[in-house]
Structure 1
Amino acid sequence: MSSSATSVASVLSDRINALQESQTIAMAKKGRELAAQGIDVISLSFGEPDFQTPQYVKDAAKAAIDEGYTFYTPVPGYLDLRQEISAKFKRDNNLDYQPDQIVVSTGAKQSLANVVLSVINPGDEVIVFAPYWVSYEEMVKLAEGVPVPLMGTIENDYKVTAQELEAAITPRTKLIMYSSPCNPTGAVFSREELAAIAEVVARHPQVLVMADEIYEYINFVGEHVSIAQFEEIKDRVITVNGFSKGYAMTGWRVGYLAASKEIASACDKLQSQITSGTCSIAQRAGLAALQGGRASADEMVTAYRRRRDLVLDLVQDIPGFRTPVPEGAFYIFPDVSGCFGKTTPEGKVLETSADVAFYLLSDAHVVAVSGDAFGAPNCIRFSTAAADEKLQEAFTRIKTSIEKLG
């Protein structure tokens, strides 16, 4: 074979060949391809608020340009932003993080990656509460760690219990990753549940915990609990948050982490070699967002709760779908295994949730993401961050398509 015929895969690194494309992005791409053909496609695949960024945040960004915030920023973020984040942690979470324990990054996604790459060595095991956000497992693999998915039961709203965690920990366990409110399930861990998990972690001093709290403000049950509140493990917890969900700032790409000084410094060092400091204008917008409080988030929560209830009413009439009630975020995550073994009008047997998702794309023209991407192969994720009429139409179409199955 000539060198010109060498496969692309052989040119690329093993780590990139082993990395999976985000299925969320892949399904959205397929939906756009259908839409480009003139088909009326409803996309419920992306985890993105359908609200605009609050006007006062936009105004602060415009002012920042005029005020000359156009230069390189400190790697961990502007000091006044980190001070404001520190105050937010104290006000909302009763957590004491100093500014030098906080690193601002280009989105919470980078914060998560910074932590994994800073603490995981080849062969370290990382327990990932499943269902999990699509990128957790791939980040662990990129760091040459060993992801250990730990699946919660549907009867417990997909939440892992302390007893299940205890049984999964080994001498090689280095890190636990989870989100609450959870993407994709919308599950929210209670204070009692996290207290029990903290007791388990306390018995294993080599284990760190990374808590992804990006959906903190989108909570339908009231209290949000941070696992870093438990004194016995607080120094081993890394708390990750950001602005994309609570302030409808997905495109601004501003997230942050708070951790022990040692871990925060490591993430600062790593970030200095990859992206350096986050966009100056976006940081000023983030500062304004925090200073403006959470009224805009509360308005969105009212809409998200209404949409959740609307969708749950519609889904209960769809045969083969079994759906717990989400307590936060803006997703529903039904178990669709009741559709497995059924046949489409074209004669294809549905064997997996991916089959169901592709069938709904082709027949109902609704874009969703199969549960394989989230470590839950019996499920499908639908975003409810869409207008009420879109959701009504989407799930009416889905019901019609499912009822066609033989």
Structure 2
Amino acid sequence: MYPRAAALEREGADVIHLEVGRPAFDTPVDIKEAAKQALDAGIVHYGDLQGTERLRQALARKLSEFNGLPAGPENVLVTTGLTQASFATFMAALDPGDEVLVLEPRYPQHPPKIALTGATVVPVPLDPERGYRVDPERVEAAITPRTKMLVLVNPANPVGTVFTRDELAVLADIAIRRDLLVVTDEVYEYITYDGRQHTSIAALPGMWERTVSLFAFTKAYAMDGWRLGYAVAPTELLGDIHRIAMNETTHPNVFAQEGAVAAVEGDQQPRHDMVAEDRRCRDLVYERLNAMPGVRCHLPEGSIYAFPDVSGLGQPDPEFAEQLLHEAHVATEPGSSYGAMGQGHLRVCFGSEPYARLEEAMDRMAKYVQSVAPAHD
């Protein structure tokens, strides 16, 4: 949808971008200053292939204090975004013929990478009637002798579920009993609402040994363009992942890593302020969507996405998203991009625009919905 929206903008349209999962905020000043100082200090040459020692030490402290993981600097691989971390993990761990369980609605970037390894994606539906929670029976039923891996996104993209410690414990029990490797994408670890606490599945008993945890600076610190992430795993797992990553990019940007150190070790108030604003935006979008005839939306518990059901309006979701873009100049993503369970839905990023622009987007969307709803009531 982004190229379509950009084409409209080139024609002079005022498009509100709710399709791209990018923060609406600027990177905090102290993070940018740290990178500038690194440039001035001549930190511009090749660095440690695994990521700078200084950053990996800072991340090891964060992983211990916030995530409860027994990680040292040797367990951290700094990558060019979480995207590279996930690609390198799949390439290192999977072989042709392997099967990978992916909870659905799913983040659409993981399955194509899995397919490149020759492995097969096996979708496992979440339970929409319970707010897109894990259904252990469906997970167990999807496992075959070829199943090697379970991929988890927590908090979930696109549905905004924050999986509880009890839910993760059930998945951990299945992974241990069925000898599965777990890959967990935790890019939204800090973005949770209403007092919910993020839990890393690798912190549960018996899971450190069989889990690759993936993180990034992208969302929490508004550093999406910096392209910095990191993979965390026991050294024997991480070594294989590192071999893939170093042959892709050698190592990540060195002066950007100095900014990342400032993000981890500096004042965390800007991060808290951004999450508070994300919650305000969530509340607005949730309330406005549910007030539209024929639209239903569950309350996102985390992340920066709402996933409204627009099937009651009688249009397939790709057609609805296309018409909403062209007639209301509001860009969203069709839910069918997130698997079969996403059909009839839209992904709406409430974290990508300032509050006032979100209000305008909801006004435009409400007007469009009113124009199509009567014919399908």
1:374 aligns to 2:338 (yes or no): yes
Unmatched segments (≥5 aa) in structure 2: none
1:10-49 alignment runs, 5 A limit = 27-49=1-23
- Offset from partner CA, 1:274-293 (integer Å, 9 cap, x none): 11100011111111110115
Does the 8 A contact of 2:196 with 2:301 survive in 1? no
Match of 1:208 in 2: 181
| Percent of aligned pairs with the same amino acid | 36
1:168 aligns to 2:132 (yes or no): no
Q: Please state whether the residue corresponding to 1:404 is helix, strand or coil.
A: helix
Question: Amino acid of the residue matched to residue 383 of structure 1?
Answer: C
Q: Please state whether the residue corresponding to 2:214 is helix, strand or coil.
A: strand
Superposition deviation, residue 295 in structure 1: 1.8
Match of 2:369 in 1: 402
Count of residue pairs brought into register by the alignment: 369
Does the 8 A contact of 1:319 with 1:403 survive in 2? yes
Question: Amino acid of the residue matched to residue 15 of structure 2?
Answer: V
TM-score (norm 1): 0.89
2: distance between equivalents of 1:161 and 1:153?
Answer: 6
Q: Please state whether the residue corresponding to 2:368 is helix, strand or coil.
A: helix
Superposition deviation, residue 307 in structure 1: 0.7
Match of 1:384 in 2: 350
Match of 2:272 in 1: 298
Greater shift, 157-166 or 70-79, is seen at 157-166
Superposition deviation, residue 153 in structure 1: 2.4
Out of 302, 323, 327, the residue aligned to residue 363 of structure 1 is 327
Match of 1:133 in 2: 107
Does the 8 A contact of 2:155 with 2:163 survive in 1? yes
2: distance between equivalents of 1:52 and 1:284?
Answer: 17
Match of 1:23 in 2: none
Out of 66, 75, 78, the residue aligned to residue 92 of structure 1 is 66
Superposition deviation, residue 160 in structure 1: 2.4
Does the 8 A contact of 1:218 with 1:297 survive in 2? no
Does the 8 A contact of 2:85 with 2:245 survive in 1? no
2: distance between equivalents of 1:159 and 1:276?
Answer: 39
Out of 321, 331, 341, the residue aligned to residue 305 of structure 2 is 331
Unmatched segments (≥5 aa) in structure 1: 1-26, 341-349
Match of 1:347 in 2: none
Does the 8 A contact of 2:184 with 2:212 survive in 1? yes
Does the 8 A contact of 2:134 with 2:167 survive in 1? no
2: distance between equivalents of 1:60 and 1:222?
Answer: 32
2: distance between equivalents of 1:242 and 1:404?
Answer: 41
- Offset from partner CA, 1:77-100 (integer Å, 9 cap, x none): 011111111110001011111211
TM-score (norm 2): 0.96
2: distance between equivalents of 1:156 and 1:254?
Answer: 34
How big is the alpha-carbon RMSD for the aligned residues of Structure 1 and Structure 2?
1.1
Q: Please state whether the residue corresponding to 2:277 is helix, strand or coil.
A: helix
Match of 1:197 in 2: 171
2: distance between equivalents of 1:73 and 1:373?
Answer: 38
